[in-house]
Structure 1
């Protein structure tokens, strides 16, 4: 005969209660959601205020927080938000030799590339597409800081050159959204060479009489700032973006002086003539369209003649 369990029959010890979540206690009939029912990334923390933001609301706001902080975004989100109705033609990026120097590290360069590709869904730090920005055709390059800090290497250099040639071929303006920490150290001098190569590619765009417009996003630094990021016909920037060559701490240690408040931020650079205008993310397509239309007017008259 089986022995009954009377451990909860002792005086003074209540029978076990059914465990219920707080929601079922205050609203009977409403089921509790298991942890697996709620995405782990449903809430995003605002970098400025620490406030937890509902992800769908943040996506609808183009990843700009209520405090006005422009969060970093990837290539697809940028392209979707730039081109009319998120319709555009993605252009295939060129292939290059990977790890040409056999760079020694605690983690192989190849493994770092694989991890970056898996995380971003992109082949390298630059993506290129062709489409219309509020009616104006353009070839657009986007640098993704999430891909190894948006670093400029051989693949990014070849992609930039391809985009420049494509703009000349299609006779349309070239636009770039920059975001980078500088040249890719795993490629050494080969990465630094891309600064000169991209500059030469831009000469072809300008020789063809086509506009080149730069939109600097957070952060745009290092060799990228020292090359194609500062060679535009017009320079725009998102609010409070970090833009410069060396970091603030390095500069202060070198010159042994304290830099002004807001140094290397886009608003500071507008005041000092380094960039033309700070534009909120939601307003960038309209602003770009207006600029491109204006810069192409002379060319249209020449074509008509």
Structure 2
């Protein structure tokens, strides 16, 4: 073969159209960190309990994912799964939005309550899910929390709550705000009985939730970087006419100013809670 023919001849693979050479990436295979923008295989994030391997940012978890990460296998029993919100004020499209969130999350409401064991210690439990109406507190959520606390009091076991909420649910008006008093009173009865309550605030814990049951545990913990506060940053700045620190209302800021007792990394959460429960229950 003449040398010019060898170099002039096109290779077979070179004739393949470029669009056919592209490999499609299956949807949901990759995930970008909301903080550092690094891209990872989704299974890496899931394995890391939704904590970014690069920057340590704690992504939101669903209620059931958090429960699975904390409870001893096979020990969880759910309470009041069928309790749902009504539309007492006939707020336009409220029921439609609730229905969509039920389909999206598989939950009837933005919280799961129940009982189970953490490192062998039996506890009552409530975990809020920010994917359902941004974890907003309506009458059903308040009722589920109050019932869970009352069950814990009757069984004389500790109560742990993980909060994640944008505040009170405006579609239920005053009925939503009433849950602040109802849940706080339930906590008072529970603590007067000599029982232990642990509150863990996750991102975000704001509004009426932060001003009621989220902040009145015997221990008040938080996850790194969680937004914790009542009013929004912009409203506060406009009210006091001052510029707030960049880390204002973060878990670390709240720890520095005595509003939370400890900031706990998600990877250490089960071990820390287990040790604390053993200390208070004498290993029972």
Q: What is the TM-score when the length of structure 1 is the normalising length?
A: 0.84
Secondary structure (helix, strand or coil) at the match of 1:196 reads helix
Partner Cα distance (2:83, 2:76) in 1 = 22
Per the TM alignment, residue 19 of structure 1 is displaced from its structure 2 partner at its CA by: 4.4
CA contact 1:80–1:87 (8 Å) conserved in 2: no
Quick one: which of 46, 56, 71 aligns to 2:33? 46
For 1:268 and 1:97, the matched residues in 2 are separated by 35
Q: Is the 8 A contact 2:82 2:108 kept in 1?
A: no
Equivalent position to 2:172, from 166, 184, 187: 187
Question: Which has the larger Rg?
Answer: 1
Shift of 1:94: 5.5
RMSD: 2.0
Q: Distance in 1 between matches of 2:248 and 2:126?
A: 27
Q: How far apart are the structure 2 equivalents of 1:244 and 1:76?
A: 25
What is the number of residues matched between the two proteins?
270
Find out whether 1:263 has 2:248 as its counterpart: yes
Partner of 2:79: 91
Q: Which runs of 5+ in 1 are unaligned?
A: 1-16, 24-31, 301-305
Q: In the aligned structure 1, how far is the partner of 2:67 from the partner of 2:160? A: 11
The change in CA–CA distance for 1:140 and 1:39 in structure 2 (over 3 A counts) is: farther
CA distance in 1, matches of 2:98, 2:123: 29
Say if 2:130 is the partner of 1:145. yes
Correspondence for 2:49: 62
Partner of 1:248: 233
Cα deviations by residue, 1:105-162 (Å, 9 ceiling, x for unpaired): xxx0011001111111111111012111111111110011111010010110110011
Q: 1:163 aligns with which of 126, 139, 148?
A: 148
Unaligned 5+ residue runs, structure 2?
1-14
CA separation in 1, counterparts of 2:101 and 2:142?
Answer: 18
How far residue 97 of structure 1 moved from its aligned partner, in angstroms, is 5.5
The equivalent residue for 1:303 is none
Give me the TM-score of the superposition, normalised by structure 2. 0.90
